[in-house]
Each structure stands twice: as C-alpha cells, then as structure tokens.
Structure 1
Amino acid sequence: MDLMDSVSLLFLFVLTVVLVFKKSSFWKTSGRNLPPGPRPWPLIGNLNLLDLKRPYRTMHKLSKRYGPVFSIQMGLETVVVVSGYETVREALVNQADAFMDRPVLPKSENLPGNYGIVFAHGENWKVMRRFMITTFRDYGMGKRTIEDRIVEECHFLIQKFESYEGKPFEATVIMNAAVANVIMFILLGKRYEYEDPTFVRLVYLVNENMRLSGTLGAMISSLFPVLGFLFESHKAFIKNIKELHAFTQATSVEHLKQLDVNDQRSFIDAFLIQQQEEKNRNQSNVFFHNENLKCVVNDLFVAGMETTSTTLRWGLLLMIKYPDIQNKVQEEITKVIGSAPPQIEHRSKLPYTDAVIHEVQRFANILPIALPHATTVDVTLKGYFIPKGRQVIPLLYSVLYDESQWEKPLKFYPEHFLDSEGKFRKREAFMPFSAGRRICAGEILARMELFLFFVSLLQRFTFQPAPGTSTEDLDLTPAIGFSLSPMTYSFCALPRS
C-alpha cells in the first residue's frame, strides 16, 4: 500500500468517525427546537463568517439576524451564543446551575487538565474556588489588610509617576507591575521592585500570553488541537505557561522549607498546609496536589493582574480624552477627601468618581466574550433546546452595549451610573465580571484596586496628552488580543498643586 492509499484510508476513517458522531448527536436532538444559525461549511464550520481579530463583533451582528440565542459551528463543534442583557441574565443567573460548567478541553500533554479554577469543572472547580474565596477572606495578609496593601502600592506607583517630572512616558509596564504586586503579595507574601528581573519576566509572560491568546494560531489550535504544532504562537504560549508553572513550583519548594502552620504568610502557605492535612488523612492529595497549586496560582496571577491594569490604563486614557470629566473627578476628590490617603470608605462619598470608574469598565469592554460555559443538563432557553455538555458563549459585549439598557451605549457617559440627584445608582446590566456561578472570584479585590489606584492617581496628577498630540488624536480603538487593551499611548502626569 503506497502513501496516497494510506492517507486516503486515514481521511475516510476520520470522516466516518465524524459522521457517526454527528448522526448520534442528531438522533439525541432530533425533533427538538434547536437554536438557529448560519449553515456551516465542512470542517471549518462558520469560521469563514467570523472576524477572527474581533469575533465578538461578528457574533453581535449574527444575533441581530438569528436572535439572542443562536448556534455557530466552530470547526467541528457546535457552540451556542447567548446575547443581550435579558438572555444572558436568564442563562447565567436565573438558570445558573444549568450553565455553570466549563467545556472539557482536549487532552494534551502540553496543557493542564481539569486543574486550577478558571478552566476547571466539576468537584475540582468547586473545591479550588471555595478554598480561594475562603483564603482571600481570611487573609488580612499578616498584620495588614488587603486594603492597606493596595494603599501602600499606590504610594510606590505615585513615586514612579513623579520620577518622570511631567515628561511623557508610556505606563503599560508600570501599571502592570503595580497591580501585579498586590496579587503577588497575597500569593507569595512579598512585593517586588518594579525593575526586578524576575518580576519583569513574570509580568511579561502573562502579557505575552494574553496577546498570543488572541492570535489566529491560538484559535485554530483550540479548535483543532492536533494542528497546534504548526503555529509558533501556540508553541510560545505553551512554553510561557511551563515557565510560569516552573516558577510556582520552585517558589512552593522554598515556602515548604519555612512552612509554619501557626504563621501562614501567603496563599501558597495556606495551600501547602491544606496539602499536608490531606496527606495526614491519607487522601492521596485528591485536590491539593502540585498540579492544582501551579494552575491555581497561575490563574490568580493572570486574573489578578491583566484585566485590572488594563482597565486602569483605559481610565487614564479616557481622562486625557475627556478633560472636563477629569476635572469633575478631581474637584469631587478635593472636596471630599482633600490630600488624605483614599480609603474604600470614601467610595460612597464620591458618587461621580465611582460612576466614572464603572463607566470605564462598561465602555472599555475588557472581556467582550466571557470564558466559555457548558451546560450541565439538557436545558431550554428562550424556547430553544440546548443539550447537556454543549459549549455556550455569553456575549458580554452585547450586555455592556445593550441599547435597551443604556441611554448612550456607544458613548463614554458616566451619567449611566447617576440618578437625577447625582447619586450613584447600580445597573443590573453592568456585567464586566460576568455573572452567576462563574462570576469572577476576585471581583471584590478588583473593585478595591480600581477605586484606590484611580482615586490616588487623579488626586495627585492631572493627565494630559504627550506634546504634539491633541485629545482629538487619541485613538479609542482597542488593540487586538483576548482582552481588549487600549492602543499603546504616552502621556504626561503633571503634579497637582
């Protein structure tokens, strides 16, 4: 048998398996009212329709045609997209248990399995999430609360901004480092100098993987794992994860040498103590094993740094773009707290500032597509049948920009979060952290950081475009990536008198 015959037989075998699978799925769902969607092409599905750089835009357009619950074919997998505030809330909140799972990722020696928090499912996810929330709540982080730690880091960030003496600079690395130091202190019990080589490398690895996650190679590799070896972006992504995991492993070894049950210094200490308790109960490390430790720490480091620092950079850009809004924020801060260090208790007394921060999150739309969910049971949504195990994509962009919920969805408009008397008002369609069982576990920490960093910076500096750039020149088009960060920009931080 020659090579061509072998290839032909292999192709026919794969095609037969796919058809058998499709047929079995068809009989399970035959006669059911399945979500509508565009007709897929063989193998690639509906990938030909997607703007692969900004897929959320294509999905939003498709929702206008097919409705708030529709299907698209991603390669060989059928995915249900849920769009609009009412439908997303119905799925993630009102039917939370039915939509709480994550898709089972393809098994690969290069990717973690059902470990950590973000992509975990089943009992492992429940145990790790519960441990993370309990540990964060219990930790005043030694003798200092988390709030005190954020305020301290604000001081270091202000010093860094002051060092530029009003000259233009680009703040991506600095903002990442400041926010990363907060989660690093929780995870490791220490902070790093912004120029520390190890710290710079860790922050770079996270940022680079967020960028690589938005590439064509990453998308194709996720849909067709067997093709991952063809893409340098996929290989770089895996290499970066391994380096991050190696750092966590080495750090945990050092922590284990000095571990004191009566003096827990960090999240890693708490995990290692729990690990020892499992061993003492002869549970063979059912959950608290090293693979989970590496993945949980990686999940928390990425989630605790990237989106918060990106939101803050959007905040500064929007203050530069709209100086009148910046002035109103500064006037309120001066009137309410003067030069005193900002505290979380000030938030209720700064309604306009709080509204601006919320509007930055809504308008910036950092994660336009929530991480994929999966159904735990057969379920009906808006009259459509969705079988158990089906991957579901909540389109957060369609919620944060829902015309039925926001007066001026395409504009940066802080009044979205103010009532007629100028008091702060909550909006149910405000879902930047997603919603339901899979809502961001670090939401409370992120909200504390956004408020304290933003107020501290606006209290001390007035932000202006770099010389030669006008506010009209500032581009609010987001860069391409898994999360939507602002285009790189330089600015001047002028000390306030």
Structure 2
Amino acid sequence: MAAVVSWIAGSVQEILLISGLTAQTCLVFCAAFLLAYVLLKRPQNLPPYPAGRVPVLGHLLALGRAPHLKLTAWRRQYGDVFTVRMGMEDVVVLNGYTAVKDALVDRSELFASRPPVYLFDAFGKNKDILTGHWDTGFKQRKRFSTTVLKNLGMKVGRGSIEEKIVEEAKFLHNRVAEYEGKPFDIAHDVTVTVANVICTMTFGKRYDYEDESFQVLSEAVTAVGTELAAGQIISVFPSLRFVPGVNRVGTNLVEHLSKLQRVLWEELSRHREHLDRENPRDFLDFGLLEVERQEKVEGLTEEIVIYLTQNIFVAGTETTADTLLWALLYLTQNPAIQHKVQQELDAVVGASLPALSHRSQLPYVNACLLETLRIRTLVPLSAPHATTQDVKVQQFDIPKGTQVLPNLHSLHTDPAYWPDPDRFDPERFLDAEGNVINKPESFMPFSGGRRVCLGEQLARMELFLFFSTLLQSFSFKTPEGAPPPNTDGVLGITLTPYPFQLCATPR
C-alpha cells in the first residue's frame, strides 16, 4: 500500500513539473472546477429547457419584458411543466389549470415557501407575509394579519368597512365630476381612493387628493413597482448590486421602500403615544398590542409590524387600483358593454347609492369585473414559490427549495376554457339563466392555496362599489381624435396599464 501511495504522489509531482504548475495553483484550479461543477450540475429528471438558453444569462434574454407571454407561448411547444434558466438557477414553470391547481391548491403546503430573491427580500427580509418562508412564524403572522383585517371590516355584514368604501367612492365621484367631461388621466385619483381605504384600516386616517405626505406614499408605491420590474437582472445576479451604475435599480428600490417605511414609522410612533389598549383603532394599534402581549405571534417586533403594514399598503393599493383602471379602459373600448352595465345599475340601484346588498342583483356588473380580472391578470406569474420538500410533478422530480413560477396568465388565456381569450366578453361569467359564475375552472386571479391573496375579500368589495358608483353617474370614452389606448400593460409588481386619458360625461 505504501508503495502505491508513493507512486501516486510521485506521478502527481511529475505532472505538475511537466505542466509548469505549482501545487497551490493546481489546488485553486481544482477548487474552482469543483465549485463550477456543483453550481452548474443540473439535478436529474428536472423538466426540459426551452430553446433560447445562453451561457451565464440562461433564458433572461429570451423572456424579455413580458415573460408571461413568452412562457405561455412556450407552453404550446414544451407542455405544462418546463424549466427556465435564470442566470445560474433553474426555475420550474407551471402552466395551465391542471398543473397550477395541483401545486397551489391540491398540494399547497409542498409549494408554499418562498425562494431567496434579492430585490423581493427587500420587502420584508423573511419577516413579513409577502416574502416569508413557510414556517411557524409565517403562519402566525398571516393568521394574525387576517384576523385583524377582519376585525377592522374586511368582511360582509355587520362591522364591515363598506361604509368607509362608500364614502371614498363619493370622494372619487366628486373628483371625477370636477373635470367636467374634459380629457384627464384618472390613475392618480383612483390610487388615492383605494389607498385611503387601506390607510383607514392600517393607521386610521385618510388623505386629501393633494396631501404632500400622501404624494410621498403614492409615488413610493408606484416607483417600487417600476424598479422591481427593471431590477430583474440584480435579482438573478445579486452580486451586481456592488457594481456602480448597474446597482442603480436596487439602490432606487431600497430608497423608495425607505421613504414608505419612514412614513409608517412616524405613524407607529404617534400610535405608541396615544395607544388605547382597550379600544384598538387600526392595524398599527393591534400590532403594538401584540408586540406587548406576544399572544399570537411569537417574537413579534415593531419592525415586523412595519413590514406587515407595508405589505398591506403596497399590495392592497396597486392591485385594486390597477384592476379598476383596466376595467375603465376596456369599457371605453366597448361602449355596448358599458351601456349594458348602466342599464342594469339603473334598473336595480336607481337613484340610490350602490351598496354591497345590490351585488347579488347585479350579475352583469360582477361579470364585467371578473372578465377584467381574467383578461388582465394583475400578477400574471403570481409571486415566486418554492418547494418545501422533494416533490414529483407529472413525471418530473423537483428538489426541495426549487423556485416555482405558477403562470396564472396561461390559465386565463387558455382557449380550452376561454374561447377567443383576447376578446373582452363578460358573458363568459354568466350561465344560461344569467347568473354569475363566480368560481369557474381555470380562473385564479388572486392565486390560491396557502399563499392566496390576503386581501381578496376587501379587493372584491372595493372593486364592486367603486366601479358601480362611477358607472352609475358617468359614461366613459376615449377623447375625441385620440388613438385607442394600449392594452398590453407594463409588468412591475402588477400588470399596469400604460398611461391613458378618458372623458367622463355625467349621465
């Protein structure tokens, strides 16, 4: 044995001398080779790669600025389950109702975690709901937040926040009336209206449309979405955040989140000074009480309360505001549908204010909103999921911790469920008797399972009341001579319409 070891050592030394390498150089080379092998080694039996993968970048160039469209196109060629290479990481994409429902609903806990994504983690550092990994802390935070929001009115019936939403709908109505039928961009007014509902629930106050503090909040929320979309390359290659110039997007995102958090910290300080422990008024009050008591969320801190509030504010504002904008945009392009909505409102609501009690009597109004949620999925790729253990999907093996993207856009544009999917047609959501089909197959606008949208019920209440109030009082159209608005959208946190103007004529 000693002779064999001596022979191997002598052979290695001879090779080093012949090649001119030192032992240290050889070790460095071997270490680099092993590291590259580990990083680049593809796990066995992963779903296939589509064409278009290049070294280092993977499929980033092929995906472009509308990845949901490219992934849906690839589905026709590669099937419901395939793998895209994002830099040095494999990401499994699920397409179609069967595959997505299997993961998000039927086997929800197996896909309920979050992967480490640099820019995404800036929202909460795994201490919130949006970015939290699947563990006891996340479950406690989500359960606590859901309970508090229900206590604050995120429900139908007694104790509902309906009255506050109706009040904000009146403010929006009056604001739109001030334009006197002239062309205007309604985006800011809609954002203020939706955000004021969230502000009331989170820190107990509303803002005027031109309030400076709210300008900071709304601009920060909008900018966060923009920077998140632009910063995809840094999420894929986090080390680029140290490269001057390239790191601008990441720096801007952190800056805008810091602006938002400063406002929230100021509100939290005021709440701490005037806390009535027997009568909590809003989410910050409930959060401060839980920090003191530690009854429902172990280890809750004020920092975590800020992250949770930020989640509610950003997610609750962008999604609802953008859906309402899409609904108005599509109605300007479909005057016959708009007229039918108004006829139904006139017949059921008349001159009174729309209320949630009217919802069951307004099937076509509801169908319009559902069709908006379908044709322009607000978060077309959901938020990134991660597997909590090794799992089999169809015939493929997905390792624990693998990032998974559910392509919700593919569900909502699947011709097997939605004939002529690019056409805006509310009739899809009505049965033969004219009743609303609330939960059709291949329709998951708020995602599903353990990671379903926390504020789904609130969003549905707001959309119905804001939409009904506006269509009851105004007819909307594209300004005379203006080209039809672009319906492609810009993908950030949500799929946002390009800026557009409309005219609101009093009825």
**If the length of structure 1 is used for normalisation, what is the TM-score?**
0.90
Q: Which residue of 2 aligns with 1:436?
A: 449
Distance 1:10 1:321, change over 3 A: farther
Distance, in Å, in 1 between the alignment partners of 2:492 and 2:119 is 24
| Counterpart contact for 2:124–2:131, Cα < 8 Å | no
1:120 and 2:132 aligned: yes
Matches within 5 A, 1:65-464: 65-106=77-118, 112-121=124-133, 122-140=135-153, 145-215=160-230, 218-229=231-242, 230-278=246-294, 286-426=298-438, 427-464=440-477
| Counterpart contact for 1:407–1:416, Cα < 8 Å | no
Distance, in Å, in 2 between the alignment partners of 1:16 and 1:46 is 24
3-state DSSP of counterpart to 2:406: strand
| Counterpart contact for 1:107–1:113, Cα < 8 Å | no
| Counterpart contact for 2:123–2:131, Cα < 8 Å | no
3-state DSSP of counterpart to 2:472: helix
Partner deviation per Cα, 1:285-321 (whole Å, 9 max, x = no partner):
8431122112111111011100110110111111111
| Counterpart contact for 1:82–1:393, Cα < 8 Å | yes
Q: Which residue of 2 aligns with 1:20?
A: 38
| Counterpart contact for 1:81–1:395, Cα < 8 Å | yes
What residue identity is the alignment partner of 1:369? L
1:478 and 2:494 aligned: no
Distance, in Å, in 2 between the alignment partners of 1:107 and 1:219 is 8
Distance 1:156 1:11, change over 3 A: farther
| Counterpart contact for 1:361–1:432, Cα < 8 Å | yes
Distance, in Å, in 1 between the alignment partners of 2:465 and 2:308 is 26
Aligned-residue identity in percent = 38
| Counterpart contact for 1:220–1:228, Cα < 8 Å | no
Distance, in Å, in 2 between the alignment partners of 1:140 and 1:394 is 31
Distance 1:465 1:76, change over 3 A: same
Distance 1:484 1:375, change over 3 A: same
Structure 1 gap segments, 5+ residues each: 1-5
3-state DSSP of counterpart to 1:71: strand
Which is higher, the Rg of structure 1 or of structure 2? 2
Q: Which residue of 1 aligns with 2:7?
A: none
3-state DSSP of counterpart to 1:45: coil
Distance, in Å, in 2 between the alignment partners of 1:159 and 1:108 is 38
Structure 2 gap segments, 5+ residues each: 1-23
| Counterpart contact for 2:291–2:301, Cα < 8 Å | yes
Distance 1:445 1:11, change over 3 A: farther
**If the length of structure 2 is used for normalisation, what is the TM-score?**
0.89
Shift of 1:124: 2.2
Q: Which residue of 1 aligns with 2:501?
A: 490
Distance, in Å, in 1 between the alignment partners of 2:200 and 2:28 is 53
Distance 1:108 1:309, change over 3 A: closer
Q: Number of residue pairs matched?
A: 475
Distance 1:95 1:235, change over 3 A: same
| Counterpart contact for 1:396–1:431, Cα < 8 Å | yes
Distance, in Å, in 1 between the alignment partners of 2:121 and 2:183 is 46
Distance, in Å, in 1 between the alignment partners of 2:160 and 2:449 is 28
3-state DSSP of counterpart to 2:498: coil
Measured on the aligned residues, the alpha-carbon RMSD in Å equals 2.4
Partner deviation per Cα, 1:174-195 (whole Å, 9 max, x = no partner):
1100000000100001111111
Partner deviation per Cα, 1:222-279 (whole Å, 9 max, x = no partner):
011110242322211111111212221221111000111111111000000000112x
Deviates more, 1:35-44 or 1:246-255: 35-44
Distance, in Å, in 2 between the alignment partners of 1:80 and 1:102 is 13
| Counterpart contact for 1:344–1:452, Cα < 8 Å | yes
| Counterpart contact for 1:114–1:124, Cα < 8 Å | no
Partner deviation per Cα, 1:111-146 (whole Å, 9 max, x = no partner):
6421111111122221111011100111249x9631
Shift of 1:108: 11
Deviates more, 1:97-106 or 1:391-400: 97-106
